Amino acid sequence: MTILRTDSVTVQHSKTSTILNFPDITIHPEDRILLLGPSGSGKTTFLSVIAGLLAPGSGKVFVKDKDLYALTAKERDHLRGATFGFVFQTLHLLPSLTIAQNILLARDMSGIPSRPDRLENLLLSLGLNGLADRKPDALSQGQQQRAALARAIFNSPSIIIADEPTSSLDDQNTDIVMDLLDQQARESQSALLVATHDHRIKQRFQNIIDLTSLSLKGVA
């Protein structure tokens, strides 16, 4: 089964005439893929394209055998919510909401019903039990990171996408975050796609897509 496949995707840089020609990728269940490249190499642009957030200039993106950009915006939103779980370098936890409310946003935005015990079990597995009613600023940085991960995997996504999850962390916390991502991907039987310039985590991946050559074209 193929979860995601790209075919000859290109994107024109918004401020120049440069065309990014991205490599074709195919993602299957439980794949572990590292998208590696320095800042400005097009990693976030590529993630936006495959997630249905930025239409390519040319080429195709197929998610679960559906041509992503042949769908309506509403259909793309639903497919995105059912397929992807996102973990960002900036956690994007809403400060006015409790941890439980932040996590449940994943369900609310996708419209996917979930088991009543899903939240409780997820909080317990990530060491966040007893913290559901607290606001993000009442949690440590590590607890906030786990809350953001819980939100990403709440819908049991087919692919967990992490954009620069370790670049601002020391070695110890880098290992903790990567262990959590790997563990939760295994438990959810999800593929894991990590985009980073952090070479410290290369040894964790056998499938590495290097975008360094794209950065030489002056792409931001």
Q: Are 28 and 3 in contact (CB under 8 A)?
A: yes
Q: Are 128 and 77 in contact (CB under 8 A)?
A: no
pLDDT on residue 15? 67
Task: Give the model's confidence band at 219: pLDDT under 50 very low, under 70 low, under 90 confident, else very high.
Answer: very low
User: Which tens digits make up the pLDDT trace of 2-22?
Assistant: 999 999 999 987 766 788 899
User: Which tens digits make up the pLDDT trace of 148-170?
Assistant: 888 988 888 999 999 998 887 88
Higher pLDDT pick, 217 / 206? 206
- Residue 177 one-letter amino acid: V
CATH ID of 4-215, from 3.40.109.10, 3.30.470.20, 1.10.150.20, 3.40.50.300: 3.40.50.300
CA–CA distance, 99 with 134 (Å, rounded to integer): 6
User: Which tens digits make up the pLDDT trace of 64-109?
Assistant: 999 999 999 999 988 998 899 998 878 889 999 999 999 988 777 6
Locate tokens 């913290």: which residue? 131
CA–CA distance, 111 with 63 (Å, rounded to integer): 18
Q: Computed from CA positions of residues 93, 95, 100, 102, in that sequence, does the dihedral angle turn out positive or negative?
A: negative
If you average pLDDT over residues 104-133, what whole number do you get? 82
User: Structure tokens of 64?
Assistant: 């679960």
Query: pLDDT at residue 217 above 60?
Result: no
Q: Which sequence spans correspond to the domains of the chain?
A: 4-215
Query: pLDDT at residue 116 above 80?
Result: no
Instruction: For 172-207, give the DSSP string.
Output: HHHHHHHHHHHHHHHHHT-EEEEEES-GGGGGG-SE
First to last CA, the chain: 34
pLDDT on residue 114? 66
Q: Computed from CA positions of residues 112, 117, 118, 119, in that sequence, does the dihedral angle turn out positive or negative?
A: positive
The alpha carbon torsion through 209, 212, 216, 218 (nearest 10 deg) reads: 80
E runs forming strands in the chain:
4-12, 19-21, 26-27, 32-36, 58-63, 66-67, 84-88, 159-163, 191-196, 207-210
